[in-house]
Amino acid sequence: MSLWQDVRFAVRTLWKDRASLTLALLALALGIGATTAIFSVIDNVLLEPFPYTDAQRLVAVQIHDSTRNEPYGREAYSQPEFADLEEQNHVFDRAIGVRQDRVLWTSAGPPESWNAAMVTGDTFQFLGVQPLAGRSATSEDARPGAAPVFVMSYKLWQKRFSGDPSIIGKSFTLDDRPRTLIGIMPKRFAFWGADLWILTTINRADTDPTADYFFFLGHLKPGLTPATAQPELRILMQHLAKVYPKNYPKKFDVRVITLADNVVGKFRQTLFTALGAVGLLLLIGCANVANLLLAKATGREKEFAVRSTLGAGSWRIARLLLVESLLLALAGAAFGCLFAVLGLKALIAALPPFTFPDEAAISLNPRVLAATICVAVMTALLFGTVPALASLSRNLSEPLKAGGRGNSGFRRGRLRNALIISEVALSLVLLTGAGLMLRGFFREVQMDLGIQSQHLVVTDLALGKKYKTTEQQARLIQELTRRLSALPGVSNASGDLDFPPFGGINTDFEIAGETRSEKCKGQMGFVDSHFFPTLGLRLFRGRFLNEDDVANKRKVVVINHAMAQKYFPNEDPLGRQVELVRLKTAPQPVDNPWFEIVGVTSDVKNNGVKQDVQPEAYAPLTITGFGEYIVYIRAIGNPAPLVKQLDGTVLTLDKSLHPQDTSTMELALDKFEYAQPRFVLQIFSVFAGIGLILVSIGVFSVVSYTVSQQNREIGIRMALGATTASVRNLIIGVGMRFILAGIGLGLIVSLILLQLAKSQIWGVATYDPLTLASVMLVLGFVGLAACYLPSRRATRVDPVISLRYE
C-alpha cells in the first residue's frame, strides 16, 4: 500500500469516529493556537521588533552608579559630553542623538499638543527607513539658515488628517514657529514614540547645566558586539568623567545595551515565562491526544491482526498510525491558527504598556506560520509515537486467538496510565503557577503605598526652556496649584518633584557630626506645603513644611520614617543637620546644601511597589528647580471629571505647557505598576484553566475505556452480590490512583520548574502551602468528578446482559 493510500485510509478512519476526532482537534488546536500566539509576540517583540536597518547593532551607552542596585543607568548626555563621546570613541562607525519634546500646533481651531522627537541631522539615513510619501529630512535641513521642516508619523497623519496627501508641503505653526511638512513615514516607523520629527544639532559650546540632554544611539562597527565594545567605552567614559565630573557618580560602570534590550529587556523574562506555560499546555494536549489514539488503537487490534495475517509488518502498521497522527496534527495546526488570530487580539490588548516598542507589528507572519508547522510535526511525533511504538512491541496475532473477548493489553494499560499521570502532573504545575501569581498579584495590589490613592488626580508637567530659573518654575507651579485649588470639587492641589511609588531624586546624605564608613544613600523630593495633606501623609514627629518655609527658601527638610530609623535609630532627629549632596551638582546648584530636620513623616513607597522604602528627605520646592514636576489634585468626590479640568487649567495658564499622562492615581498605578504582573497572571490562569479541562477529559476517557474493557468483570462481581456502591468505589479508586500519583509527581516538578519563573512571582514562596493545598483540592475534585460519571454508568449495566455479551 502506498503512502497516498495510507493518507486516504487515515482520513476515512479519523472521520468515522467524529467524537474522538473533535476532542483531539480541540486539544491540539488549543495547544498549538496558544503556542502560535505567544510565539508571534516573541518573534515580533524580541526577535524582530524594529524595521530599522541593522537594528541588532544599534546600542545605547548607560552609566550605572556602582553603589546603587538599579536596573537602568543614565543614557542621556550633555551636548559637549555627547560630542566628545561621538568623536573620541573607536567602537561606533556612526551615531545619532535624540531627545523627547512636546510641541503645540496652532491653527484656526483649538491648539493641539503633539509628541516630538528632536533628532540630529542623519537620523533617517542612520535608521535606513524610506518615507511613505514626500521625503525624509537630511543633515542639510539642519544647517544654519536652512528652511525649518519636519516629518510626520503615519499614525498622526491618519488619525488627525485622514491620510490626506495634500498636506505635504504645507506650513504648520509649531510652538509659534512656521515649519514645512516634507514627508510622511511608514506605519512601522515610530522612532521614540513621536508624532513628528524635527531636526536639531549638537552644540558643543552649550555648557548651560539646564540645557537639553540627548540620548546617544550608536551603530557598532563590524565584528564588534556590546560585550566587546564595553571595555573600550569604560576607558573613554572614565576620561569623560574627569572632564565633566558633575555628570558622573564617583564609582560607576558602563554598560552597552542593544536597542531591543533597552526597550523590552524587563519584559523578556515575562514572555519566556509565558512560552514555558504554553509549552506545558501543549504537552498536556499531546498526552491527551496520545491517550485517545492509544484507546482507538486498542479497539482496532483485530484490524491490525488481520493486516498482519495478510502480510503487513509491524512497521507498516506503525507508519499508518504515524500518518494519522500527522494528519491530526496538521488539522489541529490549521484550527490552531484560527484560534491564534482570535487569541492575538486579546493578547495584544492585555500586553502591558511601555513593554514593547511601538514599531513591533505583532501578526502571524511567514516565520510564525513556519514555526507553527514545525510545532505541528513535533506534536505529531510526540503523541503519535506512543501508539506506534505500542504496535511495534505487540504480538499482532493475539487478538485473533482471543476471539470475541478482546484484550486491553497490560502494557498499553501502563502507557495510558503513565500518560494520564503526566497530564495531571503538568496541570498541577500550571495551576500552582497561576495560584502563586494570583496570591502575589493581590498582595501587590493591596500593598500599602503610604498615600491615599483614591480621589487623587495626577499629571506630569515638563516646563521647558521658557522656565529656566528656580524662581520662574516655582512661581508657575504656585500659580497653577492656586488655580487648581479653586476648582469646584477640589480639596487640595500640589506641585512637586516626587512621584510615589517611584520617589524623587537619588542623593547621598552627610550627617553633621558623624563620620561613616559607608555613604548614607536615599532620595530627595522638592515639595510645596500642600504635598503632605494632598497625598495623605501622617506626621510622626515635629512639623510639616509650611508656607513660610517655601516662600523664604528655608533650608529645612521633613524626613521619612525609614530615614529616621536607618540613620537616627536611637535618637531624636529633630534639629539635626543633613547635607543633600546631589544639590551641589544640580542643574541649578545649591551652595552649602545643609538642611535642618524639622519633622518626621510616614513612609511612602519610593522605590517601586515591590521594594523596601528608601530614606527620603523632603525640601521646599523653591530651593532648586529641575524643570519637571508632578501635579496632584485631591478630589472631594469622583476624581474622573477633574482629569480634563487639570489639563485645561494648565493650557489656560500657558498654552506652551504640555501635561502628560493625566489620569487618576489609581489608573496611573494600574498602568505603570500592575499591568505586567496582571498579564502574566492572565496567561497562566487561561492556560491552567484549559489544562484542567483537558485533564478532566483525559481522566474521563481513560476511566471510561477501562470500564468498557472490564464489563465482564463488573458483571461477575454484581452477579456474585457486589453492591452498586462497592463497584462504583472500585472504579473511582482506580481513577483516583492516577490523580494522586499525578499530584505527587506534579508537586515535585512544580517545585523545580517554578524556580525558573521566580522573577514573575512576588510576595509568596514557590512552595506556599496554602496555594499547593488549594491546587491539590481543585485537581482532586475535578478528578473525582471525571471518575464518578463513568462509574455511575458502569453500575447501571445489567449483569446478565454483560455476561451474555462477553
CA dihedral (362, 364, 367, 369) in degrees, to 10, reads: 160
Per-residue pLDDT tens over the stretch 150-199: 999 999 999 999 999 999 999 999 988 999 999 999 999 999 999 999 99
Q: Where are the beta strands (DSSP E) in 401-484?
A: 456-462
- The pLDDT assigned to 45 comes to 87
Phi and psi angles of residue 525, each rounded to the nearest 5 degrees, phi first: -120, 150
Contact 9, 322 (CB under 8 A): no
Q: What is the DSSP letter of 499?
A: B
Contact 76, 214 (CB under 8 A): yes
| Amino acid occupying residue 617 | A
Q: Which of 239-253, 470-484, 644-658 has the highest mean pLDDT?
A: 470-484
> In angstroms, rounded to a whole number, what is the distance separating the alpha carbons of residues 375 and 283?
11
How does residue 453 score in pLDDT terms, banded at 50, 70 and 90? Answer: very high
- The pLDDT assigned to 343 comes to 87
Q: In what order do the strands lie in the sheet with 658-664?
A: 490-496, 628-635, 456-462, 658-664
Nearest to 598 by CA among 653, 532, 663: 532
- The pLDDT assigned to 704 comes to 78
Alpha helices in 524-664 (DSSP H): 531-535, 547-551, 561-567, 642-653
Q: Which long-range contacts (CB under 8 A, 24 or more apart) does 720-726 make?
A: 724/795
Quote the mean pLDDT of the chain. 87
Q: What is the DSSP letter of 46?
A: I
Question: Range with the lowest mean pLDDT among 658-662, 757-761, 793-797?
Answer: 793-797
Query: Once rounded to an integer, what is the mean pLDDT over residues 285-299?
Result: 77
Q: Where are the beta strands (DSSP E) in 52-144?
A: 58-65, 76-77, 92-106, 112-120, 133-134
Per-residue pLDDT tens over the stretch 379-422: 877 777 766 665 555 555 555 555 444 444 433 467 778 888 99
The answer, yes or no, to whether residue 475 has pLDDT greater than 50, is: yes
Is pTM beyond 0.75 here?
Answer: yes
More confident residue, 697 or 560: 560
User: From the DSSP assignment, how many helices (H) and strands (E) are in the chain?
Assistant: 23, 22
**Is 169 buried (19+), middle (13-18) or exposed (0-12) by CB count in 10 A?**
exposed
> In angstroms, rounded to a whole number, what is the distance separating the alpha carbons of residues 42 and 725?
53
CA dihedral (645, 647, 653, 657) in degrees, to 10, reads: 180
Beta bridge partners of 64: 253
> In angstroms, rounded to a whole number, what is the distance separating the alpha carbons of residues 413 and 423?
15
Nearest to 625 by CA among 493, 478, 781: 478
In the chain, where the domains are located: 1-56+271-407, 68-248, 456-638
The answer, yes or no, to whether residue 223 has pLDDT greater than 60, is: yes
- The pLDDT assigned to 407 comes to 47
Q: Residue 244 has which C-alpha cell?
A: 565633566
**Contacts of 375 by beta carbon, 8 Å cutoff, 6+ apart:** 32, 35, 36, 282, 333
CA dihedral (728, 729, 735, 737) in degrees, to 10, reads: -170
How does residue 347 score in pLDDT terms, banded at 50, 70 and 90? Answer: confident
Three-state SS for 309-349 is HCCCCHHHHHHHHHHHHHHHHHHHHHHHHHHHHHHHHHHHH
Beta bridge partners of 258: 59
Helix 711-719 with 724-753: angle, nearest 10 deg? 140
> In angstroms, rounded to a whole number, what is the distance separating the alpha carbons of residues 664 and 347?
25
> In angstroms, rounded to a whole number, what is the distance separating the alpha carbons of residues 29 and 33?
5
> In angstroms, rounded to a whole number, what is the distance separating the alpha carbons of residues 83 and 99?
15
Q: Residue 622 has which C-alpha cell?
A: 523653591
Nearest to 135 by CA among 125, 147, 120, 126: 125
Cα separations in angstroms, 738 against 17, 27, 267, 425, 795:
26, 20, 38, 10, 21
Buried-state track 91-100, b at ≥16 Cβ within 10 A, e below 16: bbeebbbbbb
More confident residue, 568 or 262: 568
Contact 149, 179 (CB under 8 A): yes
- The pLDDT assigned to 394 comes to 57
- Helix, strand or coil, per DSSP, at residue 172: strand
Query: Once rounded to an integer, what is the mean pLDDT over residues 774-790?
Result: 90
- Helix, strand or coil, per DSSP, at residue 50: coil
Nearest to 28 by CA among 275, 333, 292, 322: 333
The answer, yes or no, to whether residue 805 has pLDDT greater than 70, is: no
- The pLDDT assigned to 77 comes to 95
Per-residue pLDDT tens over the stretch 73-101: 899 999 999 999 999 999 999 999 999 98
- The pLDDT assigned to 470 comes to 93
Cα separations in angstroms, 495 against 14, 270, 464, 477, 525:
70, 35, 16, 6, 11
- The pLDDT assigned to 397 comes to 53
- The pLDDT assigned to 87 comes to 96
Task: Please calculate the CA angle 380-386-392 and round it to the nearest 5 degrees.
Answer: 115
How does residue 309 score in pLDDT terms, banded at 50, 70 and 90? Answer: low
- The pLDDT assigned to 412 comes to 45
> In angstroms, rounded to a whole number, what is the distance separating the alpha carbons of residues 74 and 248?
9
The answer, yes or no, to whether residue 577 has pLDDT greater than 60, is: yes
The answer, yes or no, to whether residue 802 has pLDDT greater than 90, is: no
- The pLDDT assigned to 315 comes to 63
Per-residue pLDDT tens over the stretch 615-630: 999 999 999 998 899 9
Nearest to 191 by CA among 217, 167, 210: 217
- The pLDDT assigned to 306 comes to 59
Per-residue pLDDT tens over the stretch 645-678: 999 999 899 988 888 889 999 999 988 888 888 8
Task: Please calculate the CA angle 321-325-329 and round it to the nearest 5 degrees.
Answer: 170
How does residue 741 score in pLDDT terms, banded at 50, 70 and 90? Answer: very high
- The pLDDT assigned to 409 comes to 40
Question: Range with the lowest mean pLDDT among 51-65, 109-123, 342-356, 788-802?
Answer: 788-802
How does residue 307 score in pLDDT terms, banded at 50, 70 and 90? Answer: low
How does residue 322 score in pLDDT terms, banded at 50, 70 and 90? Answer: confident
Query: Once rounded to an integer, what is the mean pLDDT over residues 10-32?
Result: 82
> In angstroms, rounded to a whole number, what is the distance separating the alpha carbons of residues 666 and 53?
40
How does residue 321 score in pLDDT terms, banded at 50, 70 and 90? Answer: confident
Question: Range with the lowest mean pLDDT among 241-250, 283-292, 493-502?
Answer: 283-292
Q: Which of 32-36, 143-147, 523-527, 698-702 has the highest mean pLDDT?
A: 523-527
Query: Once rounded to an integer, what is the mean pLDDT over residues 462-485?
Result: 92
